[in-house]
Amino acid sequence: SYELTQPPSVSVSPGQTASITCSGDKLGDKYACWYQQKPGQSPVLVIYQDTKRPSGIPERFSGSNSGNTATLTVSGTQAMDEADYYCQAWDSSTAHVVFGGGTRLTVL
């Protein structure tokens, strides 16, 4: 089955740029999306189709996807960005949805 791998944690200083990676076999051939989840809340879609931001998501969130790695970048990170982030892709060969294990972003 298809798998997505994320680092368990990433730390960043306020105002700096955080990058969270998501790795999977030929992930660049699929669409990747990203979710932000804060404690006790439902996940929120922050990036879809690799690079697109839903309405209401700040411009400091951006995404890329190439080769075997998708990356979520948070520029000018703020304290409010501290959360768990999950990548997700769809394996078209099986029509199955796959989530990465999640990355905790800590703003120090």
Partner 1 sequence: QVQLQESGPGLVKPSQTLSLTCTVSGASISSGGYYWSWIRQHPGKGLEWIGYIYYSGSTHYNPSLRSRVTISVDTSKNQFSLKLSSVTAADTAVYYCARSGVPGWGFDYWGQGTLVIVSS
Q: Which residues are at the interface with partner 1 (CB under 8 A)? A: 1, 30-31, 33, 35, 42-45, 47-49, 54, 86, 88-90, 92, 94-102
Q: At a CB cut-off of 8 Å and minimum separation 6, what does 41 contact?
A: none
Question: Which of 13, 66 has the CB closer to partner 1?
Answer: 66
Q: DSSP assignment, residue 48? A: B
Residue 96, exposed/middle/buried by CB under 10 A (0-12, 13-18, 19+)?
A: exposed
Q: Least CB distance from residue 31 to partner 1, whole Å?
A: 4
Closest by CA to 19, choosing from 68, 61, 66, 56, is 61
Q: Which is nearer to partner 1, 9 or 16 (CB)?
A: 9
Residue nearer to partner 1 on the CB measure, 14 or 26: 26
CB 107, min distance to partner 1, A: 20
DSSP 8-state assignment for residue 100: -
- 14 vs 69 by CB, closer to partner 1: 69
83 in Cβ contact with 2 (< 8 Å)? no
Shortest CB 65 distance to partner 1, Å: 11
CB of 6 to partner 1, least distance (A): 9
